[in-house]
Structure 1
């Protein structure tokens, strides 16, 4: 029983969440382009912070059980989405939900394309800024080079997928990320929103799914590490630059393209349009 004048901390029911999500995506499309770009840069930095945390957590973990290591890495990675949700940011993967606005007839494809372009660009700028700071701050030298090796290993694994597999992995990733974002709309407290971020994000990290904005940091930071590392680094980790010859700008682009397509399908179609169909579609 609700006590008068007391806040309601119960979860928002699914049908109300759908209406709230529609308001949120329409608000995203109406923001001034400069505001959208700045918020997107910040979101790129926030996700990069989570990715950096993940990379360092994975450093030197070869002797730890695979699943346990990935679980811990996924949990710490979730701080990136927590920052986006609580501190404010425009993240491309959640912006795929703008397709709901098209389905309800309140947004045109031109509005969506403009928003996606600005947010994607801003996320990329933020990710590159943070990757550059991390590399030239010497963070990759930590653990006698194990942090840098972790970055290289992560990038090598991501660049080893064929095009179609990257689409599928991107789809599965943003299915989880947008469901995660959807759950944060249900939570009424900061703690509730933070908790809603943890397990879905950990799940996609554990499974090795592909997040386009995370890859905007994880792949360039490995590329830059490889570019600036000296002979002492390679000697310390027992590898050479030739062992990571697949980490090239061309391969990074060829990863981001299919992963981005998959993210749109997973978030915009599988979450956004399915929720529209169930809760917001005008039934006649």
Structure 2
């Protein structure tokens, strides 16, 4: 794809223009729909683990109650960025980013069934990777740091999420994936590793600092909360944690993530830059 940016700064950096980005996202969506099953599953498991790693270090940082509220939120958001940086730079299949496949679908390049197939496979793979990472963290000793405060905080995070009412969880998920898909969208504009990392940091830090709901991060936090509760760890909100609440919460958040990324980013940009119909 040729660069059509104007201006000295744009030509030096080599960023993709806004219109080019829509075409690029369309191509990415088509390629994802044609990816072999094995690749999709393996890359999806990796993405779940990557987001789990970001969630792990987020829990570690925000367990420090000596920090002010703003410092905890911002530092937690900054460290969580690790997850999406790994996804974007190393390469992995993350459901919240794959919501942008609606661009290729809206342009008639792939079918609705291809989109749904990819989403379901990637959701399953992300869940496997997230739970696997949670098990590794549980037995790694990390949760015992800070005299066990990390484990208690991890339980509190899960309890707070399971305690959300459905409307709050749904709207929070919309806000989350609006920012996540913008981060992915911006990363596509860059052509270097540094470009991609800088593009990811601010939108992701914002969604985490504001406490919005990310379905794949929740696939790490909530199963880990169930495991901690079963291990006898006690903390605020432990009574909210149950398998039923976890499943219901994930369904609502997944739907909200689809609206936030698919409608408010993918489809709006498609409508803004949709190809003009051919004239006779």
TM bracket (short chain): over 0.9
More displaced, 245-254 or 179-188?
245-254
1:269 maps to what in 2? Answer: 263
CA 1:283–1:68: 2 relative to 1, 3 Å = farther
Counterpart of 1:77 (choices 80, 83, 87) is: 80
1:212, 1:268 → 2: CA distance? 14
2:3 maps to what in 1? Answer: none
Displacement of 1:280: 2.5
2:134, 2:174 → 1: CA distance? 25
2:171, 2:266 → 1: CA distance? 17
Q: Secondary structure at the match of 2:22?
A: helix
1:174, 1:119 → 2: CA distance? 16
2:214, 2:150 → 1: CA distance? 21
2:243 maps to what in 1? Answer: 249
User: In 1, are the aligned partners of 2:153 and 2:235 still within 8 Å (CA)?
Assistant: no
1:237 maps to what in 2? Answer: none
1:188 maps to what in 2? Answer: 191
Q: Deviations over 1:177-197 (max 9, x none)?
A: 000000001111101101111
1:94, 1:243 → 2: CA distance? 30
CA 1:88–1:242: 2 relative to 1, 3 Å = closer
| 2:94 is the counterpart of 1:100 | no
2:91, 2:121 → 1: CA distance? 16
1:262, 1:158 → 2: CA distance? 14
Q: Deviations over 1:14-40 (max 9, x none)?
A: 111111111111111110111111100
1:132 maps to what in 2? Answer: 135
1:243, 1:184 → 2: CA distance? 36
2:275, 2:257 → 1: CA distance? 23
| 2:35 is the counterpart of 1:31 | yes
| 2:14 is the counterpart of 1:13 | no
1:159 maps to what in 2? Answer: 162
Q: Deviations over 1:167-222 (max 9, x none)?
A: 11111000000000000011111011011111100100111100000000011112
Q: Secondary structure at the match of 1:35?
A: helix
User: In 1, are the aligned partners of 2:213 and 2:253 still within 8 Å (CA)?
Assistant: yes
1:215, 1:73 → 2: CA distance? 15
2:4 maps to what in 1? Answer: none
1:222, 1:156 → 2: CA distance? 7
Counterpart of 1:280 (choices 271, 274, 277) is: 274
Q: What TM-score, normalized to structure 1?
A: 0.91
User: In 2, are the aligned partners of 1:155 and 1:218 still within 8 Å (CA)?
Assistant: yes
After superposition, the CA RMSD in angstroms is 1.7
Q: Secondary structure at the match of 1:63?
A: coil
1:50 maps to what in 2? Answer: 54
1:149, 1:113 → 2: CA distance? 37
Q: Secondary structure at the match of 2:164?
A: coil
User: In 2, are the aligned partners of 1:140 and 1:225 still within 8 Å (CA)?
Assistant: no
Q: Secondary structure at the match of 1:145?
A: helix
